[in-house]
Structures are given as C-alpha cells and as structure tokens.
Amino acid sequence: MAIGIKNEREIDLMRKAGRVTALVLETLRDSIQAGIKTRELNEIAERELRKLGGRSSFKGYRGYPASVCVSVNDEIVHGIPGDRVIKEGDIVSLDFGAIVDGYQGDSAITVIVGEGGLLARSLLSATQESLAAGIAAAKAGGRLGDVSSAIQRYAEARGFSVIREYTGHGIGREMHEDPLVPNFGEPGTGPELKKGMTLALEPMLTTGGWRTKVGRDNWVVSTADGSMAAHFEHTVAVTASGAEILTRV
Ligand code: MF3
Ligand code: CO
C-alpha cells in the first residue's frame, strides 16, 4: 500500500485527536502514585477521554480489552491493566490512543514512581531523547531510514538497546497505516519522506538486550532477559524542517 499524505485539513483534525491523547496522558501522569492499581489508571483514562469527547483506539483492537496499555519495569508494551499495584521505584509505560472525528492520536510516556535509580532515570531520558532525535530527522526529502537510524544511534551511544520486533507506524484514519517505522536502520534507505506523512514514532529501549517474550495473556511484551524497558511515542506530521508533534496539549 502507498504511504498516505494528509492535507492541511486532515492534519488539523489529527492535531485535535493528538491534543486529546496528550491531555489524557497528562492526567495519567498526574494520577500515578505508589498504591494505585493499573486498572484504576485505565478507569481514569476512560473517564477523561469521555469528558474530552474521544473514543479509544485501543479498546477492542484485535480484542485488546482496555483503553490504555500499562507496562511495568521489564514489560515493554501492551500490558493489560488489572489488579497489579504500582510500587515506589516502578518504571511505568503508559500508551494511549484516541479517535476524534475519525482521526487517530497515539502516544506513550514512561514515568518513574518516586525517585528511581540512576540507571532507570538515564534509560528514560535516553528513550525520550531518542524520540526527539527521530522527530528532528523526519524531514521532507529525507528517507525513513534517517529516522530509524537517528533513534538507534542515540540509544546505542548511551549504552541501551532498541527493540527490533515492534515498530512505529504510519497513522491517520487507522491506528496502523503504512509504513512500518523500525527503531533501527541505515540512513539514506527506505521510502522518501514527504510533507503531510503522519507517523507514530515510538522507540522502545532496554538496559539489556533487544530480545522479547510475550506473556501468558498473549498481550504483554517483556524483555527476554528481565532488563528494564522504557517507551516514548508521539504522533507527528512530516514537514520540510523536521516533524511537527501532533500529540501535545
Ligand atoms: N500504541 C500501540 C501501537 O502503536 C498500542 C496498540 S496495542 C493495542 O501499536 F492493542 F492496545 F491497541
Ligand atoms: Co503506536
């Protein structure tokens, strides 16, 4: 399938969906604390999303049962909220997607509950900064591999691994559109980036290796070696000077 190009009207609708997505994540960031159950985070997200007038893009997606993915410590993505109680020092990734007026926003943040250790803090900042490096590289006229390699180089230069079996993706009316956006690759390769392409960039980094395993619920993805993981994601639109972040308040 060809990579879709959005016109200005569509990008504006994606800014609205992105804003709703970002507002819900902001509420989750403010709500998380030791003692809260992951299920409660999902309830907060659903309440907030309803207030803002959006629909969940995750709930019901391939049978996914919740509106937010909550992935803790060695869990990387797709953690299903439930009875797990968040503890001091946990590294919690929150991934959320909203549909507003037919367009999608998809974004993720990782937070440390309380102080956290030096390694966890460094993992989080490297993951967030690798996303920023990918966003800066997403320029019209460049290639998709420029984005992938910018993320990988940033992450590996700081001693972390990038997950290879899960990727970012195109996004628009559907949560997952072409192209896949790997978090590793070679500059100057892959499809040409054009103004109006909308992408969800989502580096997942670990303090150990890049191999993963899927849990007994067939959803949660964890590091194979038990190392810690972090995940940051933004929905962005390619422009001439680097990408515009759509999932912000
Ligand atoms: N943000 C994720 C993605 O980009 C989460 C979707 S998984 C779901 O694929 F099943 F929860 F929807
Ligand atoms: Co995504």
pLDDT by residue (tens digit) across 93-135?
A: 999 999 999 999 999 999 999 999 999 999 999 999 999 999 9
Q: Is residue 1 part of a domain?
A: no
Kindly give the distance from the C-alpha atom of residue 150 to the centroid of ligand 2, in angstroms, as a whole number.
Answer: 18
Chain segment 6-43, per-residue pLDDT in tens: 999 999 999 999 999 999 999 999 999 999 999 999 99
Identify the domain containing residue 85 by its residue range. 8-245
Kindly give the distance from the C-alpha atom of residue 167 to the centroid of ligand 2, in angstroms, as a whole number.
Answer: 8
pTM score: 0.98
Encoding tokens for residue 123? 């993992």
Q: Is residue 17 part of a domain?
A: yes
Residues near ligand 2 ion, CB 5 Å cutoff: 106, 200
Q: 105 near 55, Cβ under 8 Å? A: no
Kindly give the distance from the C-alpha atom of residue 58 to the centroid of ligand 1, in angstroms, as a whole number.
Answer: 6
Q: Is residue 205 part of a domain?
A: yes
41 phi and psi, to 5 degrees?
Answer: -60, -40
Distance between CA atoms of 128 and 237, rounded to whole angstroms? 18
Q: Is residue 3 part of a domain?
A: no
Domain CATH for 178 = 3.90.230.10
